[in-house]
A and B are shown apart, each in its own frame.
Chain A
Amino acid sequence: MSDKTINIEEFVPREGEARRPYSSADFDRDIDPARDDFNEGLTLPDINTEPMYVNIGPTHPATHGTFRIYARLDGETVEKAGVDIGYLHRGFEKIAEYKQYNQIIPYTDRLNYCSGLTNNVAFCKAVERMMGIEITERTKMIRLIIMEIQRIMDHMICVGTTIVDIGALTNFWYFYNARDKLNDLLEALTGARLTYSYTRIGGLAWDLPAGWRDDVKAAIKEVPSAIADVRGLVQKNRIFQDRTRGVGVISAEDAISFGWTGPCLRSTGADLDLRKVRPYYGYESFDFDIPVGANGDAFDRLMVRIAEMEESLKIIHQAIDRVPDGPINVDDKRVTLPPKEKVHTSMEALINHFKLVIDGVQPPVGRIYDATETPNGELGFYIISDGSGHPYRIKVRPPCFYAMNTLKFLVEGGMVADIVAILGGLNVVAGELER
């Protein structure tokens, strides 16, 4: 032990001074941090730390999509964070003003691309309500079934990828294999794997293929075992609980003030679900519950989604046998193309077909706001029509936009590793966030 002591004053800068770096000259003075008495007389504020400015994103494995969080870190703690989005802004609202209503349906697919059919249904529901069209019973039931299948698929991606980011890699494959089976169903139905564009204003693009209902029953047998596998691995897992319990806690009043809807809001305790509160397409005739969390932390957000998957399975089991027969497109010449035989033989049908293809579906002048419960929350479309085949203005109310708004306040004060758990639980899908 040397009798030289450290004068910490040399290293702590005074007001306005730059910090003097610890240089090799100090080694000569025999100041060794490994010495036992190095910390004597030093208190934590004396040790000179600098905040570190770190960019998390836009390309980052743990942010699903390109978001950027610019954080000021003090060690592992996030002191301040700034959230930057817009890296997938594709101008949906502007380009929708130049397209016909049926041509906008593929654009809506790419909003929340993990559950494209739900967005299609939400958009068609809004336009149909605007035109006063009541779709057929068969279409309502088919739309309900595909929305619930998509709910399961979306939650699988959200929970699977969040758990991967927390570190548990196997769960993603359990969920992904089950999801692929469901995706095969939708591929047989619509022809596409991810961006389905299956609904049309007034109905659906085509009817169910033969034997599809039996395929659904076979495919959804795989889902409970996948959910059970994942639950068994994470629900009582000490590491998972430490990483997600108490992380990103938000109260129900704050969540409502921030505009949260969907599973994130339900995890805080408020049980708002449009399928129960304002049922559409026959949801009131099915027996299902709304899982509600207690604490509003990351653990609850994930567990609510897993429970919602089970509720969706219940609905599909009940609904798949109750699909009524009948036409799928409503017999309304304002929206539905006439059958091809008539187009080739009758003049009125020919003109109708021509008008529908060239001018498109033309809702009356007016404004409407219509909302649907998508897997992420309340997806709303505010459509302003000027009577022509192109909408005058479409505004999408994206559920994860308001969840992302809150991210800054949820991560400040926590640790860097918590950012990942919080961001994953909010299920922020970039296509919907930035349209």
Chain B
Amino acid sequence: MTRNDTERHDALVLETRSRFGDKLLSVDRSYGDCALIVDLGVVHDVLAFLKNARRFDLLMDITGIDCTNLPAHRERFELSYNLYSVPDDLRVRVETAVPELEMNVPTAIDLWKSANWAEREAFEMFGFNFVGHPCLKRLLTHHEFNGFPLRKDYPLMAGQWCSVTSDLSDELNEPR
């Protein structure tokens, strides 16, 4: 599982720290993974650096986390980008804390096209506003649903009826 991951992750952390200084707030190396915890202002730059300079060309997943009940958290929400480098076979996570009152995050769709639906899902489950996303609307829940289901204050069993299926005319004009 590890091969020479540890050295490569060390080198990556050093390079990121030299580029971004104290905006790289901390690093989580548990279980052999490497998670770079960065400041929200530079998250797009970090992602662009990882993609362009370090060949992390596959965005595996974007995860939203509601940290309300976690003991040590800076802000209420966190966002975690899971990256993989196909030529180098290396994984890294980029995590950032997002404040509850202003959930604007720059979109990663200009870097990876897989961010399209991943960001839509993070928006619909938590409410992140991805600035610059071409079509940020609900994906998995129906169009009459109100609220963000995966937040900790949304009750588990609060179902909402949908009376009519949605009209998708606006999706036809989404740019490529």
A272 to B141, Cβ gap below 8 A? no
B80 to A382, Cβ gap below 8 A? yes
Select A259's contact among B80, B114, B142, B171, beta carbons within 8 Å: B114
What residues of chain B lie closer than 8 Å to A334, measured between beta carbons?
none
B28 to A278, Cβ gap below 8 A? no
A93 to B150, Cβ gap below 8 A? yes
What residues of chain B lie closer than 8 Å to A84, measured between beta carbons?
166, 168, 171
B69 to A384, Cβ gap below 8 A? no
> When chains A and B are docked, how far (Å) is the Cα of A427 from the Cα of B60?
18
B164 adjacent to chain A (CB < 8 Å): no
> When chains A and B are docked, how far (Å) is the Cα of A395 from the Cα of B1?
21
Which bracket fits the contact residues of B? 35 or more
> When chains A and B are docked, how far (Å) is the Cα of A150 from the Cα of B37?
38
What residues of chain B lie closer than 8 Å to A367, measured between beta carbons?
28, 30, 35
B172 to A70, Cβ gap below 8 A? yes
Of the stretches B7-15, B19-27, B86-94, B99-107, the one at the interface is: B86-94
B113 to A369, Cβ gap below 8 A? no
Chain A 399-424: CB-based contact to B (< 8 A → 1; otherwise 0): 00110111011000000000000000
A259 to B173, Cβ gap below 8 A? no
> When chains A and B are docked, how far (Å) is the Cα of A244 from the Cα of B2?
41
Nearest residue (CB) in A for B142 is A86
A98 to B171, Cβ gap below 8 A? no
> When chains A and B are docked, how far (Å) is the Cα of A434 from the Cα of B140?
7
B48 adjacent to chain A (CB < 8 Å): no
Closest CB in chain B relative to A213 CB, distance in Å: 29
A384 to B65, Cβ gap below 8 A? yes
Closest CB in chain B relative to A365 CB, distance in Å: 8
A397 to B82, Cβ gap below 8 A? yes
What residues of chain A lie closer than 8 Å to B149, measured between beta carbons?
91, 94
Closest CB in chain A relative to B169 CB, distance in Å: 8
> When chains A and B are docked, how far (Å) is the Cα of A368 from the Cα of B30?
8
A395 to B116, Cβ gap below 8 A? no
A89 adjacent to chain B (CB < 8 Å): yes
Given A278-B89, A393-B65, A86 contacting B141 (CB threshold 8 A):
yes
Q: Which of B71, B86, B112, B166 has the most CB of A within 10 A?
A: B86
A82 to B117, Cβ gap below 8 A? no
A94 to B156, Cβ gap below 8 A? yes
B63 to A382, Cβ gap below 8 A? yes
What residues of chain B lie closer than 8 Å to A384, measured between beta carbons?
65, 70
> When chains A and B are docked, how far (Å) is the Cα of A278 from the Cα of B2?
9
> When chains A and B are docked, how far (Å) is the Cα of A258 from the Cα of B173?
20
B31 to A366, Cβ gap below 8 A? yes
A395 to B113, Cβ gap below 8 A? no
A85 to B139, Cβ gap below 8 A? yes
B114 to A380, Cβ gap below 8 A? no
A85 to B140, Cβ gap below 8 A? yes
B39 adjacent to chain A (CB < 8 Å): no
> When chains A and B are docked, how far (Å) is the Cα of A98 from the Cα of B156?
9
> When chains A and B are docked, how far (Å) is the Cα of A129 from the Cα of B2?
13
> When chains A and B are docked, how far (Å) is the Cα of A378 from the Cα of B117?
17
The 3 closest A-B pairs by CB, nearest first: A82-B171, A259-B114, A70-B168
30 contacts between A and B (CB under 8 A): A68-B165, A70-B169, A70-B172, A72-B172, A80-B172, A82-B170, A84-B166, A86-B141, A89-B140, A89-B141, A256-B57, A257-B113, A257-B114, A258-B114, A259-B114, A259-B118, A277-B89, A280-B1, A366-B30, A367-B30, A367-B35, A369-B33, A371-B60, A382-B82, A392-B70, A397-B61, A402-B114, A402-B118, A405-B113, A434-B140
**Residues of A at under 8 Å CB distance from B?**
53, 58, 68, 70, 72, 80-86, 89, 91, 93-95, 98, 129-130, 253-254, 256-259, 261, 270, 272, 277-278, 280, 366-369, 371, 378, 380, 382, 384, 386, 392-393, 395, 397, 401-402, 404-406, 408-409, 434-435
Q: Told that A94-B156, A393-B65 touch, could you supply 10 new A-B pairs with CB distance under 8 A?
A: A58-B165, A70-B169, A70-B171, A84-B166, A86-B139, A259-B114, A278-B1, A368-B30, A368-B33, A397-B60
